[in-house]
Structure 1
Amino acid sequence: MTASAQKNIDALNDVLGKTFRLYVQTHGYHWNVEGPNFRQLHATFEQQYQNLWAALDEIAERIRTQGAYAPGTVAALMALAGPEDPPAQSAGDMVSKLIAAHEALATTLRDAIAVSADAGDEVSAGILTDRLEWHEKELWMMKAGTR
């Protein structure tokens, strides 16, 4: 395997791990949100975690098409995910933490898109670009709701 191909796989693994962390975080917020915006946030968090869950499969399968094994344990995924945030204490805190997490993942995606393009892997770059588009739209909607 070339260095460029390995760097591409590493970038895909990074996106996978961080997507997994955001999935777990969002699902936990769905379970625990309270307050006057409960119904709206509960539904929004559900839509988000379902999208993130589907993305995990797509990204992991893309890693497999590149000739590598996708991480298959929670420990392996969390090692790629980086540190977790402390629990949120309110619905507003949940939204703020999700905004920060989506922004961080968007940065990771931009970096991974560049790596995939450099590796000549247009399919991975396309998948990652689609993911970036979704995160940017979610960011816009969450930020608009906090104004």
Structure 2
Amino acid sequence: MEPTIGLSAENLEKAAHALNSVLADEYLLYTKTRNAHWNVEGPDFHSKHLFFESQYQQLDEILDSVAERIRTLGHYAPASLKSFLDLTRLSEQLHEKNTGDGFIHELLKDHESLIINLRGKIDYTADKLHDMGTSDYMTGLAETHEKMAWMLRAHLK
């Protein structure tokens, strides 16, 4: 049964589609953060291991939330590795070393890319689709990623 929430079926589909790529980006970032947690090396191993764990736990909650927002709009969330790789703008390829700073640089770039992408989708869903709920939801996501990026950036000072 299609939701009757004051948005056309076409706009619901477009909003869900916008969220599909966000979900894919979130999943890639989650996976890369898990990788950092598992594979970080160096004299700061223990503190970075715990730090990356706290970040991937936050991302895990975000994943569930984005998928549930897609379902709220009456569409199915992508849920396969192939679909995530097809939809993401992020690269799963790591370019830095397996050190705390190396992983932090890599993850920070991805968070900042995600924030920039979300900013465009916030305006698109509000102005073009008249979906203030999804726009507000993505604003909250951007704020969460801004804080996570700040936490990463603080380690580089």
Fold-level similarity (TM above 0.5): yes
Match of 2:37 among 27, 30, 55: 30
Moved over 3 A (4+): none
1:86 and 2:94 equivalent?
Answer: yes
Structure 2 CA distance, aligned partners of 1:28 and 1:90?
9
If each structure's helix is expressed as a fraction of its own residues, which one has the higher value? 1
Match of 1:124 among 106, 121, 134: 134
Match of 2:115 among 58, 83, 106: 106
Q: TM-score, normalised by structure 2?
A: 0.85
Contact in 2 for aligned 1:9/1:66 (Cα 8 Å)? yes
Contact in 1 for aligned 2:20/2:70 (Cα 8 Å)? yes
**1:65 aligned residue:** 72
Q: Deviation of residue 90 (structure 1)?
A: 2.9
Structure 2, gaps ≥5 residues long: 1-8
Q: Deviation of residue 141 (structure 1)?
A: 2.0
Structure 1 CA distance, aligned partners of 2:86 and 2:75?
17
**2:5 aligned residue:** none
Q: Deviation of residue 10 (structure 1)?
A: 1.7
Q: TM-score, normalised by structure 1?
A: 0.90
Aligned pairs, how many? 146
